[in-house]
Amino acid sequence: MKEPGRKAADAYVLPEEKGGHGNLSLVDTHAHLDLLKEDVVAVLREAREAGVTGVVTVGISLDSSRKAVEMARTHSGVRAVVGVHPHDAKDLDRQTLRELRRLATDPFVVGIGETGLDFYRNLSPRTDQERAFRSQLELARELDLPVVVHDREAHAETLRILEEYAPFGGRLIMHCFSGDLDTARAVLDMGGYISVAGPVTFPNARRLQDIVRRLPLDRLLIETDCPFLSPHPYRGKPNSPARLVLVASRVAELKGLCLGELRLPDPFTRD
Ligand code: NI
């Protein structure tokens, strides 16, 4: 959905003095392209015009994971992560896991997730969430793929389970990080990455902004989690990969860099 009066990609073109966007090449490390209401071709074109050249689309269920793989096969610059979200953890039975394993062998699949724990909404019982989390951690380890972790109001329990599978050697991504500095450090110690989304742009997100200031750039990722979590000043509106530029711009600012100088790692590179 477009905001009235906004001209497609123009809304994301930043002035030259802020680093411009001409040679930007950002990767949206966490998007849900299958949940967007707009045409994906148009969404990806708009993203490219804004400087977002790569998108990792993440499954939340078996059906959504299938769509993610299909999109990666169809659209250049798109890669897929397959998994079952903690909200749907109760549905992860043996057959679903077998099907996920099969999907994960597709060359366009670059990770397992999103999995983890959500004790905020508790849409699946906690025991199911923990079981599904462990199954997907084991699958990621078996296939030597990065695991994409969702942790909402379950920091201690998430860390406790992750520690059983550490070290990760770069094969762990904490998506839409919302923990404190100690949690971030524990993730780094396990060989993981911290990924920040739209909330880093909110004026009152001081704790997250402080964490970004302190973390090494080679352990930091950016994402939109679209259609959710639109960055400031679009908070509450549907999000899209083009808006990654606003997240990138804020992160660059927190690091004392121009947007054009921001170089972040890509843990989804398959070699
Ligand atoms: Ni997500």
pLDDT one-digit tens code per residue, 128-178 = 999 999 999 999 999 999 999 999 999 999 999 999 999 999 999 999 999
pTM metric for this prediction: 0.91
Going from the Cα of 60 to the center of ligand 1, the distance in angstroms, rounded, reads 7
Please give the Cα distance from 248 to 26 (Å, whole number).
8
pLDDT at 9: 43
- Give residue-wise pLDDT tens across range 21-66: 567 999 999 999 999 999 999 999 999 999 999 999 999 999 999 9
Q: Which CATH number fits the domain 13-261, given the four candidates 3.30.70.920, 3.40.190.10, 3.20.20.140, 2.30.29.30? A: 3.20.20.140
Q: Across all residues in the chain, what is the average pLDDT?
A: 92
Specify the pairing of strand 172-174 against strand 109-118. unpaired
- Helices assigned H by DSSP within 20-81: 40-50, 62-74
Going from the Cα of 238 to the center of ligand 1, the distance in angstroms, rounded, reads 14
All structural domains of the chain with their residue ranges: 13-261
pLDDT at 144: 97
pLDDT at residue 18 above 80? no
The pLDDT confidence band at residue 270, using thresholds 50, 70 and 90, is low
* Mean pLDDT for the stretch of residues 179-199: 97
Single out the residue of 168, 158, 210 nearest to residue 193, CA to CA.
168
Q: How many residues does the structure list for the chain? A: 271
Residues in CB range of 99: below 8 A, 6 or more apart: 62
Going from the Cα of 17 to the center of ligand 1, the distance in angstroms, rounded, reads 32
Determine the 3-state secondary structure of 76 from DSSP: coil
Going from the Cα of 78 to the center of ligand 1, the distance in angstroms, rounded, reads 16
- Give 39's strand partners: none
- Give residue-wise pLDDT tens across range 78-98: 999 999 999 999 999 999 999
Going from the Cα of 228 to the center of ligand 1, the distance in angstroms, rounded, reads 8
Q: Which residue has the tokens 């993730």?
A: 187
